[in-house]
Amino acid sequence: MLKKLAFTTALTFAAFTLQAQAQEPRRGGTIRFTAPYGASFVSNDSHVSNQIQDEIYGYALHGMLYKWDAKNGKPVLDIAESVQVSADGKTYTYKLRDNALFHNGRKLTSDDVIWSYTRIMDGAKNYPGARYVARIVGATDVQKGQAKEISGLKKIDDSSFSMTLTDKADPGYFLFQAQTAILPAKEAQQPGFFDKPIGLGPFKFVEHVPGSRMAFERWDKYYLAGKPYADKLVISPMGEAAARDVAFRNKEVDVSILGSTQYVAYKADPNLSKGILEVAEVFTRNMGMNPTFKPFSDKRVRQAINYAIDSDLIIKRLVRDKAYRAASWLPLSSPAFDKDAKPYAFDPDKAKKLLVEAGYPDGFEFEWTATPNESWGVPIVEATIPMLAKVGIKVKVKPVETSALGGVVVGGDFQAYIWSNTSGPDSLTALKCFHSSTPRSSCNYTTFKNPAYDKLIDDASNEADAAKQLDLLKKANAMLQEEAPVWFFNYNKAVMAYQPWLHGLQPNATELALQRYEELWIDTTSPAAK
């Protein structure tokens, strides 16, 4: 089944890529994008916001040290032209692009990079990007007010600098987000800078009408020659799926992220179905089980829950196939995903047998914390109740608001919860969340502890050979499936509808709504082609 899914996904990517390559990009026109995760953008300052909504405009306005290569599923250099890595894999020396200019025409220098990262670590401001920059040596000292400069960042000259990390890791995986945008150091400290911010991105800021739109125009001196293609870019925050649907059908916007209801309707429509892009995003929907609740401390009980729930049926009926069945933690788009791995089968008899072996022949009752989310919340929990009841497990639903779930889980105040958690793009970082040294407050929400698993992760962390590291990660992922700290429900299938005149969309598994706008172009059939 998973093989088939992976094959279909790969085929979709390939077809999509071929289609995009078939035509020569055209310059001009306005791209009309939507930001679907709220009614507004938070701020003109990309360092301030923790929300993906703001990343959507950040990719137009800013340059980061890295950018995500969606087609190859890995980070690549953005504002730097080359990097050298030290033998211990901890120090990275970057050479910045000579032709990277801010929107006021000033050339990017290493001072701008160092200042931007130092700003992000301002402990008094608690910028969300601090969790990424914190992996640079000395960054947390700045955050704590114990230093004014990040000791791990050294300026070599105006166009090169070195960066030393606290541990061996590929910084590309955590320095491509707009929360780590490189700002012009001197200009950004001037009053009023963020009223009309400038950056290094493919588009220049024109205006922000809060709650309505953000408009940009092409930056002619962008460092990738000939790009971007479009003259203008307008991004409208549209949190309401139904409103996006009307606007898309009315050809007022070029793209729309689809929910499960619209996904079904669009797939059934002969015209709309031609413009659908599907990606297995790096999110794993799961039910985390707290081992301090006695039944969940037993692996057999956790496995029994995985066997007792008919996940395929729920995905088909409730999620309307807008998800891929999860086998273990790492998603389909992860290089360490084992395409031969089979998910837990729906087998209530086996579940019952495991419960008997674990000493729960009559089952037990547990409290399941869930938000109202339609894809990974109360509706899903309600669907599992009769399935679990058949093996003797009773569920008491504990509803919480979406914004409160994080606090409940981090505080350990649950027996079980259902959530959608990031499981990539870096497989090692994702799997480290189950290392016993990772606290619950970081991401080991189920306080998973297994010495054999720890060893696999430690070995993978220290492994220089990429192929061997991948093999270790696959083994760790398989061990997670066996240990079942969670009910592996599904991997999110992100779906974007696009108009026939829009080209160059990228199947970004980190978040489909995040597009490299410099790659997008519209043909003459667009209503905004001129």
- Binding flag, residue 338, another protein (CB under 8 A): no
Stretch that binds another protein, among 72-80, 163-171, 211-219, 497-505 (CB under 8 A): 211-219
Q: What is the DSSP letter of 121?
A: T
Q: Is 68 in the site for another protein (CB under 8 A)?
A: no
Distance of CA 350 to the CA centre of its chain: 35
Please state, in angstroms and rounded to a whole number, the distance separating the CA atoms of residues 81 and 330.
31
Decide: is 26 part of the binding site for another protein (CB under 8 A).
Answer: no
Query: Binding residue for another protein (CB under 8 A) from 28, 89, 123, 291?
Result: 123
Q: Is 45 in the site for another protein (CB under 8 A)?
A: yes
User: Can residue 30 be called a binding residue for another protein (CB under 8 A)?
Assistant: no
CB atoms within 10 A of CB 479: 17
Q: Of residues 181, 277, 433, 456, which one binds another protein by CB under 8 A? A: 433
* By CB under 8 A, residue 404 contacts another protein: yes
Asked if residue 399 binds another protein (CB under 8 A), the reply is no
- 437 near another protein, judged by CB under 8 A: no
Nearer to another protein, 45 or 471 (CB): 45
Taking CB under 8 A as the rule, does residue 167 contact another protein?
A: no
Note whether 428 and 459 are within 8 A (CB).
no
Binding another protein by CB under 8 A: which of 12, 40, 166, 436?
A: 40
The stretch among 21-29, 331-339, 380-388, 440-448 that binds another protein (CB under 8 A) is 440-448
Distance CA 100, CA 108 (A): 6
In b/e form, how buried is each residue of 361-398, taking b as 16+ CB within 10 angstroms?
A: eebbebebbbbebebbbbebbebbeebbeebbbebeeb
Contacts with another protein, 213-242, as mask; x by CB under 8 A: x----------------------xxxxx-x
* Span near another protein by CB under 8 A; candidates 46-54, 184-192, 221-229, 473-481: 46-54
Residues 269-328 binding another protein (CB under 8 A) are 283
Rounded to a whole number of angstroms, the minimum distance from the CB of residue 438 to another protein is: 9
Distance of closest approach, residue 379 Cβ to another protein, in angstroms: 17
Q: Shortest gap between Cβ of 33 and another protein (angstroms)?
A: 13
50 scored as a contact of another protein (CB under 8 A): yes
Looking at the Cβ atoms of 40 and 447, the one nearer to another protein is 40
DSSP code, position 64: -
Comparing CB distances to another protein, the nearer of 21 and 126 is 126
410 binds another protein (CB under 8 A): yes
Q: Shortest distance, CB of residue 464 to another protein, whole angstroms? A: 27
Q: Provide, rounded to whole angstroms, the least separation between the CB of residue 32 and another protein.
A: 10
Please tell me the total number of residues recorded for the chain in this structure.
530
Question: Using the rule CB under 8 A, is 247 a contact of another protein?
Answer: yes
Burial (Cβ within 10 Å: 0-12, 13-18, ≥19) of residue 328: buried
To which H or E segment does residue 141 belong? helix 139-143
Q: Which residues pair with 33 in a beta bridge?
A: 235
Question: Nearer to another protein by C-beta: 211 or 361?
Answer: 211
Confirm or reject binding of residue 441 to another protein (CB under 8 A). yes
Q: How far apart are CA 423 and CA 273, in angstroms?
A: 29
Terminal alpha carbon distance of the chain: 46
By the 8 A CB rule, do 493 and 354 touch? no
- DSSP states of 323-390: EEE-SSSS-TTSTT--TT--PPP--HHHHHHHHHHTT-TT-EEEEEEE-S-TTTSHHHHHHHHHHHHT
Q: Which is nearer to another protein, 439 or 500 (CB)?
A: 439
The arrangement of strands across the sheet holding 30-35 comes to 30-35, 232-237, 213-218, 203-209
The verdict on 261 binding another protein (CB under 8 A) reads no
Give the range of 63-71, 288-296, 303-311, 433-441 binding another protein by CB under 8 A: 433-441
Q: In angstroms, rounded to a whole number, what is the distance separating the alpha carbons of residues 188 and 174?
A: 23
Number of H helices, E strands in the chain: 16, 19
Size of the site for another protein (CB under 8 A): 57
Q: Which residues contact 89 (CB under 8 A, 6 or more apart)?
A: 168, 464
Candidate residues 12, 83, 111, 128; the one interacting with another protein per rule CB under 8 A? 128
Site residues (vs another protein, CB under 8 A):
37-40, 42-43, 45, 48-52, 123-126, 128, 130-131, 209-213, 236-240, 242-243, 246-247, 249-250, 252, 283, 400-410, 419-422, 433, 439, 441-443
